[in-house]
Chain A
Amino acid sequence: MHWRDRRWWTWGLLALVLAGCDRPGEKAEAGRIAAAEQRPGDPVRGRDALLNRAVVTCGPPHAAYAARAAAAEAPALNPAGRTGRNAELPYMLTAHVDPAGVELVTSNCLGCHAAPLEGELVIGLGNEFLDLTEDPLVAIEALGAGLAPGPERAAWRRWADRVGRVADYMMTDTVGVNSANNLTLALMAHRDPQTLAWSDAPLIAPPPTRPLPVSVPPWWHLAKKHALFYNGEGRGDHVRYMMLASTTCTDSVAEARAIDAWFVDVRAYLATLRPPPYPYPIDTELARVGARVFADRCASCHGTQGADGRYPNKLVALGKVGTDPALARAAFADADRFLDWFHDSFYGELGRSRPGLGYVAPPLDGIWATAPYLHNGAVPTLADLLESGARPAFWRHQRSGQALPEYDTERLGWRYRRLAAGKSAAMSWEERKHIYDTSLHGYGNQGHDFGDRLDPAARRALLEYLKTL
């Protein structure tokens, strides 16, 4: 062989090896994300299923739940269409009867994917005030403590033991940020991908016990998105991806298939969701000016609205968007075992994960309602997002107890308080957990500084336009 041929062979082998490291086909480059056909479903049946069928099939027995004083209170904000026992339960809980005939109370999707707004529950609005900092274990044990041996105790124990195994992967250190993606990885780690059988001991290395913060994206973007997740992951069939975070007790392929059969309807319903309209006055003249700014500066990534609107589904490289890289990097570089698990499992039969080293520029429908901003919820208002120098390094929502903060119609977001110091200066855990500290790993508020190039008037106009989306 000529030396030049040998050199080509060497380069070829090297390229092959390197390509293998990068898992071509499983990881994505920046750029447009191709569409994938979704399985059809019935949105009417899907809404009913979302509100009344259990996707999580374990939980405390209803008898234990009902013994709690709080259970006697009428559920608040329950959406229309909750039927039977579900009408008596808070919207984030669903009744379910297990194979032994025990009536259970199970968690559902709405705990994360529904939130009150202007006194109404908005299905599809990410819950940015969910408190996942609390240790669930005491409450879980207390629920079972009065149950005598028998089917009810067995049902409680199954649920309690499962949640006990994954609790550390769910617990965040800041109120409002979400850990469902980390929980999903933990559940994968405890299951055989082929059979989906549960193992008390993890079968692959579990994810870190300090979840990276994630802001829950609104469901009404679903119809536009080709990839479900911020980092471009979740391509192909969306249904099974959506089921994955709820697999606490889905212990066989047959069970997963049964849920999949009606979850296509749920997806079809979610694809019909639209954002709530901005409820406060809008300066339409100023918004018209802002629309031009948007078309000029934002639309190429975030898309356009209206009848002829288009959404480009663009994965923007970390180097360009500049936002906190931890989430994308972790999924790209430290999660191969989970990619393998997914593609070996029932859940990956119709989808491809394809995480990328970047973040998808999301559609901006209803963006006024989805504060705080960026994939990690690091920026409290849209005004801060458009002026990176104004972003607070340390902040907390301005609220009293469990009440929602007031909506700031000037800055577009929930009112917050800028703090002089982060969590390390807090005197108590109660104080600490409410502080969003952008100095922590994964919590950075940098990047997406495109608004800095606008003059204040243009920024003001752009904000006004964003109210109309």
Chain B
Amino acid sequence: MGGRGRHRLMALAAAWLLGGCEAPSAPPAPTADALVEGVALVATGVAPGALRLPDDHAAHPRQGGELWRLQAKLEVAGDRPQLFTLGIVRLNLGRPSRPQSSAWSSDALLWGWSARLGPDGPGLAQRRARATLGLAGAALSPARVWVRDWGLALGPGRPPWRLVFEDAEGTRLVLGGSRPALGLARLGETLGVEATTAGLQGYLLSGLTVAGRLVVAGRARPVTGQAWFEHLWGGGEGGTGAGAGLRLTRLTLQLDDARTLACVELRRAEAGGRPIPGCVLVDAAAQVHRFRRRELRLEPLEGGARPARWRLEIPAVALAVELTPWDDALETIAPGVAVRVAGRAEGRVIEGWGWVESIGPGQRRRGEGE
């Protein structure tokens, strides 16, 4: 991959997390091209070579960018549930051409953000630091990533998974689970792409349980819940240049029968063409089922470039659900839209929650004059 391609992929990782952030001090948003290219690669491609766990659970410092993200629904005793999302991205700045005399010199920058929506209203927090002097970094063993006071310990790279997030305020969330990791390639295959030389690789851990405490404004509350975690990296080699002119929507849904659905929809940003959806269903027994375009129906129930209301039907598993925004407020602080899931599965009423992210040229937040 040439320098330009690497730069775009690095920008992607930041955009993935920060594209939705409104903080005045946030760095300039990367170009839409970079964003779409990278996202399309996430959906359709894998980095050269197969996913190698447990090693890949740790950081990939030679890659251009890396992302760790968890999304959770937290139950708070006697109160409404909280949606919580946390992301940390590491951007590789490249090796300096000559030795640097400053102790502040660094080859990586880490950004973290968290967003929550719950009884206390929406809230956003960010951390940024260079990977130097212990302010931020990504350690290989034990696998850990941190930025300032935020730390995410990743535990062993095989089931049972154990991930622990902590901050200086006292929040401590322990995520556990035993389902196998779902490689990004499996999701890409649902679009009809078996393998590419695209530059991103990663995996999703689904069906995680959460236990711990959440501290907001000095008030600590015990929480339990469900979560998934994803770890993406790339920008090392490969890259197709594909992606500009495409819009990609990701839907990650947790159903209340313990099944997780990870879906993507690729469509042309301009009018015309046919949307191309694909889904992976991880069932309660951790079996992975893939569904391609012709095996499912995924359609937005509202117009605009960034719809949040969707209908998803997968006849093979008698699943038909509709997605509606959890609360538009969350979208003002986080990429994507948190959604409620409601419908039927094999004749039973089913509910759930999830996240919808639409990324591509001309993307605006809902209500921004689409």
Which of A142, A161, A429 is the one whose CB lies under 8 Å from B292? A429
Interface of A is mostly: helix
Q: Is the CB of A138 within 8 A of B273?
A: no
Which residues of A are found within 8 Å of B293, using beta-carbon distances?
135, 137
Q: Are B266 and A138 neighbours in the complex by a CB distance under 8 Å?
A: yes
| Contact bitstring B176-201, A, C-beta under 8 A = 1, else 0 | 00000000000001011110010000
- Quick check: which of B63-71, B237-245, B347-355 contacts chain A, the rest being far away? B237-245
Contact between chains at A146 and B276 (CB < 8 Å): no
Determine the chain B residues whose CB is within 8 A of the CB of A190 once the complex forms: none
Known: A135-B293, A135-B294, A146-B244. A141 touches B197 (CB 8 A): no
B290 sits at the interface (CB 8 A): yes
Q: Please, which residue of chain B has its CB at the minimum distance from the CB of A140?
A: B273
**A164 contact set on B, CB distance < 8 A:** 273-274
- Complex Cα gap A318–B56 (Å): 59
| A135 & B191 in contact (Cβ 8 Å cutoff) | yes
Distance (Å) between the CB of B40 and the closest chain A CB? 7
Chain B hits for A333, CB < 8 A: none
Which of A67, A147, A428 is within 8 Å of B245, CB to CB?
Answer: A147
**B272 within 8 Å of A by Cβ?**
yes
- Complex CA gap A68/B238 in Å reads 12
Cross-chain contact B276 with A135 (CB below 8 angstroms):
yes
Structural contact, A171 and B294, CB atoms closer than 8 A: yes
Q: Which residue of B lies closest to A171 (CB)?
A: B294
With a CB–CB cut-off of 8 A, which chain A residues contact B240?
Answer: 68-69, 142
Scan B266-283; emit 1 where CB is below 8 A from any A CB, else 0.
Answer: 101000111010000000
Q: How many A-B residue pairs have CB under 8 A?
A: 67
A157 touches B272 (CB 8 A): yes
In A278-337, the 8 Å CB interface with B consists of none
Q: Which of B245-277 contact A (CB under 8 A)?
A: 245-246, 266, 268, 272-274, 276
Q: How far is the CB of A284 from chain B (nearest CB, A)?
A: 46
- List B contacts of A147 (CB < 8 A): 245
The answer to whether A233 has its CB under 8 Å from any CB of chain B is no
Residue picked from A69, A141, A157, most chain B C-beta under 10 Å:
A141
Closest to B240 in A: A142
Known: A67-B241, A135-B191. A141 touches B276 (CB 8 A): yes
Give the distance to chain B from A433, nearest Cβ to Cβ, in Å. Answer: 11
Minimum CB–CB distance from B331 to chain A (whole Å) comes to 26
Known contacts A69-B197, A429-B292; A138/B276 CB under 8 A = yes
**Residue B44 is within 8 A (CB to CB) of chain A in the complex:** yes
Q: Are the C-beta atoms of B274 and A137 separated by less than 8 Å?
A: yes
A-B contact pairs, 17 of them (CB 8 A): A135-B292, A137-B274, A138-B192, A138-B266, A139-B192, A141-B276, A142-B44, A142-B243, A143-B242, A144-B245, A145-B246, A146-B244, A157-B272, A161-B272, A161-B273, A164-B273, A429-B189
